[in-house]
Amino acid sequence: MRKVAALSALCAVITPGYSWAADEKHENGFIEDSHLNILNRDFYFSQDFRNGSSAVNPHTGARQSRRAEWAHAVIGRFESGFTQGTVGFGVDAYGQFGVKLDGGDGVVGNGVGGPGLIPRKGDNNGEPKDQWGKAGGAVKVRAFDTVVKYGDVSPTSPVVHAGDIRLLPQTLTGLIFDNTSIEGLKIEGGKLTASSDRSGVNHSGDLGTVYGGRLSGADNVQYIGADYRFNDNWSFKLHTSRLDNVWNQSFARVDFQQKLTDTIGWDTGLNYYRTRDTGSALLGKIDNDSWSTHLGLNVGFNRFLVAYEQVRGDSPFDYVWNTYDLELDNASQWSDFNNPNERSWQASYTYNFAGLGFPGLSLTGRYLRGDNIDGTRATGGYTAFNSVSDGKHWERNIWASYIVQSGPAKDLKLNVLQATHRVGGDFGNYESNVDELRVIVEYPLDLRML
């Protein structure tokens, strides 16, 4: 608990003689606009492999037919306001601590990429850790509707988005900015030089890509982009990035939504990523165009959605190491449906139980199917796909979410996420047959200065 205690002590030093209270709003001051958020997150994560699929224990090398981990996190974030004046200064700080509640050597993953919550000792190939954590922060400057931050930061661009899909969130080291001078328009960008993994304890991890791994020669990732909401119907995104000596990646998105009546509306959109190798091409030749489109219909408390996605290229659609929130419609719980030359479909249904008098409760069912996977011509860092010439797979998701609406436990959130994934053709050479369950309980406490 030393990391969390250190964060609390930091806040006490920064704000001596003041008390904290929830849900108070103040403006125009370093102290007055400061707030502290404490998030308790309890996470159970299970993967049950089927039909001969398995995972490898990174410590013993033995095959694992199952992974099962349970851990708890306390994540504290302090954000100051800005000093008054044309140019204002502030500071952000965080501390995060994880503790293993259950999970032995034979069922814990490595906590680095997809497999698991709990890190291992040594270079993530020893025994599971019982506890781990880190702290950090950033300085920030505000001038003329522009905010610049330097230090441990969490970018939110579609071409580099800090991941928060496991126990602890990822941070990256570098400089980022955003500008909101024009109504409806947000411009953001930055330069990032290192990644601090969601299970790591240092701040200087190498960058790289999710499917290509860490790369010591990828010294930085630079990005810039804009989000624009034209009106209640139309919105647009345009972003581009350069991962040093790996790729240039650009993204475009257009969304349209229309209400037909007070209870009926529809929406559609198109997402497109263009990725090309650059510099010394550490992962080899990359010539990838990936896009998706969807059509959604809202009828009362019901939402229906269908989507189609296409990957054109002999390498997968890839993204920056440990980041997430890629904006392709069929990225799912187990699979990203982003394999070389893959095409995929989705059908989903969501019901909001406010229609039956239970606000805060929703249930989603999704089915996704992908085929035409062919990685026989993949080169460089993606040759693991060479054994797949006619791959196919499907995934079924059942997701339930509930947020407490009032009372002492207001804002407590429960998510239950179940996925069933099955492979066909020769795709078992790359992905697995698995049943996955995630149970996540989160309780946030937001505190502001009096």
pLDDT at 27: 60
pLDDT at 4: 36
Residues 6+ positions from 27 with CB-CB distance below 8 Å: 33
Residue 66 belongs to some domain of the structure: yes
- CB-count exposure of residue 283 (10 Å: 0-12, 13-18, 19+): buried
pLDDT at 153: 97
Residue 21 belongs to some domain of the structure: yes
pLDDT at 114: 66
Residue/partner pairs of 266-270 with CB below 8 Å, 24 or more apart: 266/295, 266/296, 266/297, 266/298, 267/294, 267/295, 267/296, 267/298, 268/293, 268/294, 268/295, 268/296, 269/293, 269/294
Residue 5 belongs to some domain of the structure: yes
pLDDT at 122: 84
pLDDT at 198: 80
Residue 69 belongs to some domain of the structure: yes
What's the CA gap between 120 and 67, in Å, rounded? 14
Q: What is the largest CA-CA distance in the chain?
A: 67
pLDDT at 279: 97
pTM: 0.91
What's the CA gap between 439 and 346, in Å, rounded? 23
What's the CA gap between 122 and 131, in Å, rounded? 14
Residues 6+ positions from 156 with CB-CB distance below 8 Å: 162, 188, 325
Residue 192 belongs to some domain of the structure: no
Residue 25 belongs to some domain of the structure: yes
pLDDT at 111: 77
How many structural domains is the chain composed of? 1
pLDDT at 428: 92
pLDDT at 201: 82
pLDDT of the chain, 450 residues: tens digit per residue:
333 333 333 333 333 333 333 333 336 789 999 999 999 999 999 999 999 999 888 888 889 899 999 999 999 999 999 999 999 999 999 999 999 999 999 899 887 766 789 999 988 889 999 999 999 999 999 999 999 999 999 999 999 999 999 999 999 999 999 999 999 999 999 999 999 888 878 888 999 999 999 999 999 999 999 999 999 999 999 999 999 999 999 999 999 999 999 999 999 999 999 999 999 999 999 999 999 999 999 999 999 999 999 999 999 999 999 898 899 999 999 999 999 999 999 999 999 999 999 999 999 999 999 999 999 999 999 999 999 999 999 999 999 999 999 999 999 999 999 999 999 999 999 999 999 999 999 999 988 755
Residue 31 belongs to some domain of the structure: yes
pLDDT at 171: 93
pLDDT at 13: 31
pLDDT at 25: 37
Residue 51 belongs to some domain of the structure: yes
For the chain, the first-to-last Cα distance in angstroms comes to: 27
pLDDT at 112: 76
Residue-range definition of the domain harbouring residue 96:
1-136
With H, G, I as helix, E, B as strand and everything else as coil, classify residue 382: helix
